[in-house]
């Protein structure tokens, strides 16, 4: 028998499983996250604790085949030897490969000045838009629903136009940044007639870097706008799972989002979902 392969720091669930690397099977706890968690759940853990891998595992479990929603062969192959597939068939039948998923990480949104960091944030949202660019070719989709997706793709062609005088964001850019996640969940709901799972990793990373380099207020305005738009009163949202390191940041970001429930390292709820347990 070959010894297990170790991929230190790898947060790509599909890569770990396909390469038969060492993996602590947390899939048996998927029911806790998928069916029992609040509408918007923040899980805070220290760095290198497995937050990104957990969200990636969740994405691989839930996300549908957009070209053929009835085809669930990819998640079935990934999860066939894991606990959730062997022990919770009802959950697999109802959720595995059944839902649209929007997954985004704010890790890497940093810079010595606000303009650099805002451009990194835009590029992350642009990459997400490119993933769903195929929707532009589908028939019978209302042009109004497609507009935010077209807009951010068009804005990516001339990134100099994102900024006004002195490196400030134009009103158009600010609106696109703060509303895109909500608009994307709306578009996916319109196309697939299912509410959307939203996964946000490293939610406070841009604020930590902004505090360090002196543009905290400008970045807070964007990050708060993104979260409030996507997470508060979003009828297209089935559930949102958000991860980060710091609990205190969510109080300033989401003070107006009263559906946001935070569970830290010392809270009993979901304590075994991320990280090693004894």
Q: Give the pLDDT confidence score for residue 27 in this predicted structure.
A: 82
What is the residue whose two structure tokens read 């085949």?
A: 65
pLDDT category, 32, cuts 50, 70, 90? confident
The pLDDT of 179-194, averaged and rounded, is 96
What share of residues in the chain are helix, strand, coil (percent, to 5)?
A: 50, 10, 35
Strand partners, 203: none
b (16+ CB within 10 A) / e for 158-194 = eeeebbeeeeebeeebbebbbbbbbbbbbbbbebeee
Q: Is the pLDDT of residue 278 over 70?
A: no
Is the pLDDT higher at 255 or at 68? 68
Is the pLDDT higher at 64 or at 271? 64
Q: Give the pLDDT confidence score for residue 19 in this predicted structure.
A: 86
Strand partners, 101: 197
pLDDT category, 277, cuts 50, 70, 90? low
Q: Give the pLDDT confidence score for residue 80 in this predicted structure.
A: 94
> What span, in angstroms and rounded, lies between the C-alpha atoms of 100 and 59?
9
DSSP string, 171-230: HHHHHHHHHHHHHHHHHHHHHHSS-EEEEEESTTHHHHHHHHHT-HHHHHHHHHHHHHHH
Q: Is 121 helix (H, G, I), strand (E, B) or coil?
A: helix
Q: Give the pLDDT confidence score for residue 127 in this predicted structure.
A: 97
Nearest to 89 by CA among 72, 65, 102: 72
pLDDT category, 273, cuts 50, 70, 90? low
Using one digit for the tens of pLDDT, what is the confidence trace for 56-103? Answer: 999 999 999 999 999 999 999 999 999 999 999 999 999 999 999 999
Q: Is the pLDDT of residue 245 over 90?
A: no
pTM of the prediction?
0.90
What are the backbone dihedrals phi and psi of residue 174, each rounded to the nearest 5 degrees, phi first?
A: -60, -45
> What span, in angstroms and rounded, lies between the C-alpha atoms of 147 and 182?
13
Contact by Cβ (8 Å): 28, 81: no
Using one digit for the tens of pLDDT, what is the confidence trace for 110-141? Answer: 999 999 999 999 999 999 999 999 999 998 89
Contact by Cβ (8 Å): 16, 7: yes
Q: Give the pLDDT confidence score for residue 85 in this predicted structure.
A: 94
pLDDT category, 107, cuts 50, 70, 90? very high
Q: Is the pLDDT of residue 106 over 50?
A: yes
């Amino acid at each position: 028998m070959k010894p297990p392969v170790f991929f230190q720091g790898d947060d790509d669930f599909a890569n770990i499983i396909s390469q038969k690397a060492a993996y602590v099977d947390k899939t048996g706890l998927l029911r806790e996250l998928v069916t029992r968690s609040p509408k918007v759940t923040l899980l805070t853990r220290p760095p290198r604790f497995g937050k990104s891998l957990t969200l990636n595992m969740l994405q691989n479990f839930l996300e549908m085949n957009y070209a053929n929603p009835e085809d669930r062969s990819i998640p079935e192959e990934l999860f066939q030897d894991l606990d959730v597939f062997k022990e919770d068939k009802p959950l697999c039948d109802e959720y595995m490969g059944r839902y649209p998923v929007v997954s985004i990480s704010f890790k890497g949104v940093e810079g010595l000045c606000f303009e650099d960091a805002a451009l990194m944030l835009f590029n992350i949202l642009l990459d997400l838009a490119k993933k769903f660019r195929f929707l532009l070719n589908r028939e019978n989709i209302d042009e109004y629903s497609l507009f935010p997706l077209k807009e951010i793709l068009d804005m990516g062609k001339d990134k100099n136009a994102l900024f006004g005088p002195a490196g400030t964001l134009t009103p158009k850019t600010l609106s696109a940044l703060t509303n895109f996640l909500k608009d994307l969940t709306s578009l996916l709901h319109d196309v697939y007639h299912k509410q959307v799972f939203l996964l946000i990793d490293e939610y406070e990373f841009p604020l930590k870097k902004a505090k360090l380099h002196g543009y905290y207020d400008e970045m807070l305005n964007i990050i708060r706008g993104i979260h409030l738009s996507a997470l508060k009163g979003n009828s297209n949202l089935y559930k949102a799972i958000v991860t980060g390191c710091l609990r205190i940041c969510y109080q300033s970001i989401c003070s107006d989002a009263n559906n946001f429930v935070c569970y830290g390292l010392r809270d009993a709820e979901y304590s075994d979902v991320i990280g090693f347990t004894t």
